[in-house]
Every structure is written in C-alpha cells, then in structure tokens.
Structure 1
Amino acid sequence: MKFENAVLTGACGGLGQALARRLIAGGSRVALVGLQRDSLAALAAAAPERCAIYTPDVSDGMAMAAMAADWTARAGTPDLVIANAGVAGGFDTAQGEDLAVLRRMLEINLLGVAATFSPFLAAMRAGGRPGALVGVASVAGWRGLPGNGAYCASKAGLIAYLQSLRAELRPTALRVHTVSPGYLRTALTAGNRFAMPGLLEPDDAARRLLAGVAAGREHIVLPRRTGWLARALGLLPAPLHDRILLAQPRKPRAGEPGATDIPGLRR
C-alpha cells in the first residue's frame, strides 16, 4: 500500500529520519515536522517539490493547527499521519525539579500526539477514504519501570488514548495504529547504561512499521521478540519482576551524563 500524503512529526532523528526517507523514496508527499530545520532541510532536499518543513512545538495546539492548515492547502488531506515525536529520560519523584520533567514529557509524548491528529481528523473522516493515524508509544508503556516513571506514564497514557480513538473511529475508514518499539539505536537510547535486548536499527524499524500499517495491524511491536520478553517478564510475581529491574542501572536524569535533551524543559 502506497501512502500518497503523509504527515510525520519527530522527523529530525532516529526513527523519524528513517521513516521520512522511506516515505520520500516511495513517492509520498511529506510534511516534515521537527525542531531542527537543518536536519529537515537535508531530508526535503531529496524531493523538494513533495516536501514541506515545519518546526512547531507539537504540544502547542494552535501551532499544530497552523501547520495542518498550511500543509492541507499545499498538498490536500493526508492519508497517513504519524505522531512520532517523543522524548525520554530518567525520573525521581524524590527530586522536586523532576516534576517539570514529568510535565514536559506528558506534554510532548501524550498531548503532542492528540495535537498532531486533531487538526486533520475532521477532514480525513469526512473524505471517506482509507487513512491511518499512527501513534508511536513504547513497550515501556506496558508496565512501570523503576527510575522511568515519567516516560512509562506518558507512553501508558498514550496507549490508552489510542485505544479510545480507535474505538471512536471503528465505523469510519480510518484506522488507528499503536506502535510499541523496544530498544532502537537512536539518541534516546545512546545514554542507557543497561542491557538493551533486541536493539533494532532505525531503518529496520521504519520498514517494519510502515509494513505493519500497510497490512492493517493495529498493534505493531518493534521487534516482536522484545514484546515477547516484556510479556514473559510481566508474568513473574511483581516483587521478583521489580527486584530484577532494580538491579539494572537507571536511565540518566536530565542534567546527568548521557541524558537526552528534553526541548522546552524548565526546571
């Protein structure tokens, strides 16, 4: 299945760049949404007549609505919207400054997905044509992990939100896809000090994601074996499960060596 018109957030890095390259190479018109204009320009250079660059904060509903209006005027209503923008980082409830991390992570990882879908939804539904809304969640949203409460909460909330949206859109030609990556070799995992089983290259993940969407799979786990491992761990008694994970190094918190940047964070 070829997508004619795609909107992609988080297009600057890792999985987003790989998705952008594949969509552009496949002939799609692509709205490239991210915060690094130079990175987006390098992607758009492959097909400037089919791409447009946007740099809003995905949690800003008004900015996202303006992006959607401009893209729709240029290219028409999309048949694929991928809400891929996301941030990650360690979290410690005992540290008061980390409450800002939780707030910002929820804004980007959860609110940002709804703000991405919202301005396109009415037109996509009214068109009556098949379309796909893709939210990139995480295996980390399946169960809370020590030292990762903000990220797990944001992705668990996203999974529940996508379930609700999917139910609402059942009577329409639109399909909602929940993507749950495990570990991808991106900037978000570069600082991890713990084992990352099933580590996947971004281009491989992008290929599998788009194939899963084209095949109509509502739940896409990347890679599947990581999902099986997470499910198997989830069968353990909770105290044992937690003891195993507590023995692992924690993800770096904002400001610590190896931590990834969280745009717009004010601590």
Structure 2
Amino acid sequence: MNIPLDNLVITGACGGLGRAMAAAGLARGARVALVGLDRSVLESLAAQVPGRCAVYTPDVSDAAAMQAMAADWMARFGTPDAVIANAGVAGGFDTAQAADLAVFRRILEINLLGVATTFQPFMAPMRERGRGTLAGIASLAGRRGLPGNGAYCASKAGLIRYLESLRAELRPSGLRVCTVSPGYLRTALTAGNRFAMPGLMAPETAADAILQALARGREQLVLPRRLGWLSNALGLLPAAWHDALLLRQPRKPRAGESGATPIPGLNGDAAPPSAPRAGPGETAAR
C-alpha cells in the first residue's frame, strides 16, 4: 500500500518531532501547513521551500482558531491527505498542590482536546473526498500511570481511547486513524527529565518512521518497537512491584522547577495569535 502524502497539516511543528516531520514531508515534495507557536522557527522552515507552506500560530485548544486555520489552508492548497495532531506539552504533577490543578487542566486542553479541535475542521471535506488520514501522537506513557506524571499520562491515555473510538466510527467512511505511541524522544520535552529514558530516539528517526507508517496505512505504531515490548513485559508484573520500580526514579520537574518545560497558556498567560497567516511564498501559493 502506498497512500499519497502530498498535502500535510502538522501541529506542534516548531521543534522536536513536529519540526522533523515537517522537514521530512517537505523533503518528499509535500505541501505542509506548519502549525505552532514560534512563528520565527516556522517561517525559517517555510523559507526553504517557498510556495509549498503556510505558517499558522493558533492555540490548538481554540476551536474557532483551528477552524480558521483549516479553512485558510484548504482554500489555498485543498483537502489534506493527512492531518497529524502532534502538539503536546508535558510537566510534573502533584495532586496535593492546588497550583498544579491548572497544570492538569492545561495539559488536557492541549494534549487531548487539541487533537479533536485539530481533526474536526478537516473531517467533512475528507469524508466527501472518501479518503484521508488522521494521526494522533500519543505516548507509551498512556499505557500506564507514572508517579509524578499523572496529568501527562492521563492526557495520553485519554488520547489513545479517543483515537480508538474515532477509528471505529470512521472505518466505513474510508478515512484512516493512526495512533502513534512513541517512547522517549530527544526533544525539549525530555531535556529536563532526571530519570532513565531507555530507547531514546532522535526525532528525525521517529519522523521518518511515522511518515512511512502513514503511507502504508498503519493504524498503530510504537516507537521504538522494543520499548513497546518492554512496556508490555512490565505490565505483566504485579502492580506493587511495578510501582516500586518506578518510585525509585526521580520525578519529572513540576512547572516552575528547574528543568521544567514551558506550558503555553498556563495561568492565563498571553494566548498566541489566532489569525491564520501564510508564511513565505504566500503569493506564489495562491
């Protein structure tokens, strides 16, 4: 099977896995909607291939902003072959801390709600055309809770079940849904981790594997595969043994602690601009 990937929408395209997927898609000749929060990074990437990109900086949890982005992209380039909901954040979480409740809410808004708001505007045009792929970047962390990381694990577990439900709903329509569950990737989200990260992958390696899987019509992808096997094996242990192993590891830094990654929009921080704007090559793209 060789499904065309000539028109891609990728959220979280500013860095790490998202940027690597965008670069890989552009290298293959695709037109790519670059969706993220750092306009300068996205415009730098778009400048390399004038006429085949547009840059958008919405908050992925803002349904109206995502609908505007989708309408603008499809007016310029048509219905995408694949929409890859990659935008995500991570942060340590402590239920005993009142301030961390806002962290939990924001992680769910971006990692879970943001996937639905990313997919929604494209579903009717894809259904009308009779084909298309919706891919969600979940995580092996969604398979089992990790101490001190409950918000992130909950968001990814919810995402896995959401994608599972959507796959069943869309199967008669010809649309495909792919759940991608990476382990540890060498990105800003893992840079502050103080615990062991077996199977750590370069984002470029993961990006190539994901695009190949989408082109082949895969519905599930675990990266790296051996880490999925390890996860399955650990899942056979009694819960108390599994928890004891994990509790020996340092916890992920909470928001505000050294090594924590920023969470956009947390505690009422300024929201990113929502109006869609094309990047370099806008006139040529028309």
Shorter-chain TM-score range: over 0.9
Q: What is residue 40 of structure 1 aligned with on the other side?
A: 42
- CA distance in 2 between partners of 1:266 and 1:11 (Å): 24
RMSD: 0.8
| Structure 2 length-normalised TM | 0.92
SS at match of 2:24: helix
SS at match of 1:170: helix
| Structure 1 length-normalised TM | 0.98
Q: What is residue 86 of structure 1 aligned with on the other side?
A: 88
SS at match of 2:134: strand
The answer to whether structure 1 residue 227 and structure 2 residue 228 are counterparts is yes
Q: CA deviation at 1:145?
A: 0.8
Q: What is residue 154 of structure 1 aligned with on the other side?
A: 155
The runs of at least 4 aligned residues of structure 1 exceeding 6 Å deviation read none
Q: What is residue 5 of structure 2 aligned with on the other side?
A: 3
Output aligned runs, 1:159-198, within 5 Å.
159-198=160-199
**Please, which of 82, 86, 97 is the counterpart of residue 95 of structure 1?**
97
SS at match of 1:235: coil
Q: What is residue 58 of structure 1 aligned with on the other side?
A: 60
- CA distance in 2 between partners of 1:210 and 1:49 (Å): 22
Output aligned runs, 1:131-146, within 5 Å.
131-146=132-147
Q: What is residue 17 of structure 1 aligned with on the other side?
A: 19
Q: CA deviation at 1:74?
A: 0.3
Q: CA deviation at 1:4?
A: 1.4
Q: CA deviation at 1:42?
A: 1.0
Q: What is residue 241 of structure 2 aligned with on the other side?
A: 240
SS at match of 2:189: coil
Percentage of identical aligned residues: 72
Amino acid at match of 2:50: P
SS at match of 1:104: helix
1:197-245 deviation digits (Å, cap 9, x = unpaired) = 0000000000111111111211101111111111111110000000000
- CA distance in 2 between partners of 1:78 and 1:213 (Å): 13
- CA distance in 1 between partners of 2:47 and 2:230 (Å): 40
Aligned partners of 1:24 and 1:46 also within 8 Å: no
Q: CA deviation at 1:91?
A: 0.3
Higher relative contact order (CA 8 A, sep 6+): 2
- CA distance in 1 between partners of 2:38 and 2:19 (Å): 12
The answer to whether structure 1 residue 211 and structure 2 residue 209 are counterparts is no
